[in-house]
Amino acid sequence: MAKPLLATVRGERQGRPPLWIMRQAGRYLPEYRAIRETVGTFLELCYTPELAAEVTLQPLRRFELDAAILFSDILVIPDALGQTVRFEHGEGPRLEPITPDGLGRLNADGVVEHLAPVFETLRRVKADLAPDKTLIGFCGSPWTVATYMIAGRGSPDQAAARIFALRHPEAMAQLLDLLVDASAAYLIAQLEAGADVLQLFESWAMNIDERQFAQLVIEPNRRIVKAVRAAVPDAAFIGFPRGAAGLVPAYVAGTGVNAVGLDYMMPIGTADASLPAALPVQGNLDPLRLLAGGEQMEARIEEIIAGFAGRPHIFNLGHGIVPETPIGHVERLVEIVRRGR
C-alpha cells in the first residue's frame, strides 16, 4: 500500500498534503503523561522499547496522522559517545560541558550497540503501524548537538559553541567529525530497523553568519546524507534547518536532502519563490497559533495549504507542539488538512 507522506518526500504531489506534527508524542497528551509517571528518567523512557513504542503510536491512535516519528531525543548521541547527559524536570537537558582537551573522552565505537533499544523501538512500531503510514526516524544534526555538548545545556544564542568554533577550529572540526560518523551509523541502523524517512533536526541553525553556516551546518549535514546513502542508496531525508532564513536555499542545494522543513518565521511566498519548484516542503504553522485555536488558526492553515499547492507539501508545524495545546485544536487542525484542496 502506498505511503502518501513517503511519496511526498520523494517528490510526488498528493490530493491533500500529508500531515504529521513535530513532537506529536508528548506532554499535551494525557496518555503520554501517564506513561511518563511510570519511569524515573526521560532517558529511561527513551531506552525502554516497550514504552517508547507505545508513546510513538499514541498520537496515531487519537488523530488521523500520516506518519509516526520515533520517540527519542537528539541527545542520545552524546550519551552514546560517553558524555554525561541528564534531564532536569522542568529545566531541560544538562550535560557535562565538553572542552577541547576533553574530546579524547568521547568514543564512537559503541554508539550503535549503546542505542540498540532505539532500534528495537522502531521494529516494534513498524510491526504495529498501518501499511499506509510512514515511519520517521531522526537525529540531531552535528552543529545543533555540539551546541548542547559544549554549553552543557540549551541557550538562546549558542554563544558558547560559537566562541568555541572561532577560538578552537581544529577541536570543533574534530567534534563535528565524531558527530557525523556517529549520526550516520545511527541513521543507517534506524533504516535497517524499519524507518522509511529520516529527519535531520538542525534546531539551532540561526545566529551564525553564512561562512559558519556553510562550515558548521551545510557540510556536516551533507556528509551525513552522503554516508547514509552510501549504505542505503535510496535513503529519503527531510532537513529542518530552523532559523536558517535566507540560507535555506543554500542548505537544500548543499546537503542533498529530499525535502526541507520550514520554520514558522519563513514567509510562504519567500519559500515558494526561492526554492526549486519541484522541491517538497514541510511546514509551517506557528505552534502558538495551534495553541490559541479559533478562526485565526483555521485561516492560517488554509493559507499555508494554498501557498504550497503548486509543489509537494507535507503539512506540519514550524516547530514542536507546545505542552499546553488543547487536544480539540489538534483535532480541528487534522480535520481541515484532511479535507483537502
Q: What is the pLDDT of residue 122?
A: 98
289 and 326 in contact (C-beta within 8 Å)?
A: no
**How many other C-beta atoms are found inside a 10 Å radius of the C-beta of residue 326?**
13
133-177 pLDDT tens trace: 999 999 999 999 999 999 999 999 999 999 999 999 999 999 999
Q: Is residue 240 scored above 90 in pLDDT?
A: yes
Can you list the alpha helix ranges (DSSP code H) found in 193-326? 210-212, 219-231, 248-255, 268-274, 287-292, 295-307
Helices (H) and strands (E) in the chain, counts: 17, 9
Which structural domain, as residue segments, surrounds residue 225? 4-339
Whether the pTM exceeds 0.75: the reply is: yes
Q: How far apart are CA 72 and CA 189, in angstroms?
A: 14
Task: For the chain, give percent helix, strand, coil, nearest 5.
Answer: 50, 15, 35
Positions annotated as catalytic residues are 23, 27, 36, 73, 148
Q: Is residue 341 scored above 60 in pLDDT?
A: no
Q: How far apart are CA 311 and CA 8, in angstroms?
A: 9
Nearest residue to 326 (alpha-carbon basis) of 5, 7, 27: 27
The total number of structural domains that make up the chain? 1
Which residue has 549504505 as its cell numbers?
231
DSSP states of 162-216: HHHHHH-HHHHHHHHHHHHHHHHHHHHHHHHTT-SEEEEEETT--SS-HHHIIII
CATH at residue 142: 3.20.20.210
Give me the sign of the Cα torsion angle 111, 113, 117, 119: positive
